[in-house]
Structure 1
Amino acid sequence: MVKAGERVQDVRVTEDTLTVDLLDGRTISVPLTWYPRLLHATEAQRNNWQVAGGGFGIHWPDVDEDLSTEGLLRGAPAPRESTPA
């Protein structure tokens, strides 16, 4: 269950890390390799983010990436595309 304090306060993206500050004071840091769209984006594209989903999500319009605080807190990387056998 998502809690009110799990809303996004700030987002920072470096060359190798995504860091999200939540309203309840927690900070989530995950490797950028978990999110290939962000990993391969330019600095300008990474910095062009918007709070979405009532404050519980982050959207990057330039690279069509959407993440939720719930998924970040679970430590869930982006789903891998399946390859044919």
Structure 2
Amino acid sequence: MTNSENERDAEAPRAAWCDQESLHVRLADGREIVTPLWWYPRLLAASQAERNTIELMYSGIHWPDLDEDLSIKGMLRGAKAPGATPPKEAAA
């Protein structure tokens, strides 16, 4: 197995869930990524049930009810969805 295959396996999602403010993803190597929901406007606008209807993929997460996909690599880079606005700026 190459280093990139080992890294990819370590970054595979094993669990994912949303609370009222954040998306949580637990990776195969034990790390947990937590990002604010405002980074992903579709998730922010969704119901709690829609947010938590999640399919884990090898390199990311899929929300079938929302047609939304996020990659683990993007989350680790801190990539926000286009048009994501922090709550304080959105209220201004």
Alignment TM-score, normalising by the size of structure 2: 0.80
Q: State whether structure 2 residue 43 is matched by structure 1 residue 41.
A: no
Q: Number of residue pairs matched?
A: 79
Q: Distance in 1 between matches of 2:28 and 2:82?
A: 27
Q: Distance in 1 between matches of 2:82 and 2:13?
A: 22
* Aligned residue in 2 for 1:63: 66
| Structure 1 residue ranges (4+ consecutive) displaced by more than 6 angstroms after TM superposition | none
- Unpaired stretches in structure 1, ≥5 consecutive residues: none
Q: Distance in 2 between matches of 1:3 and 1:58?
A: 14
Q: Distance in 2 between matches of 1:36 and 1:79?
A: 9
Answer whether contact 2:50 2:65 (CA < 8 A) is retained.
Answer: yes
Greater percentage in helix? 2
What is the identity percentage for the equivalent residue pairs of Structure 1 and Structure 2? 48
Alignment TM-score, normalising by the size of structure 1: 0.86
RMSD: 1.5
Q: Between Structure 1 and Structure 2, whose CA radius of gyration is higher?
A: 2
Please list, as runs of the form range in 1=range in 2, the aligned pairs for 1:7-46 lying within 5 A after superposition: 7-46=12-51
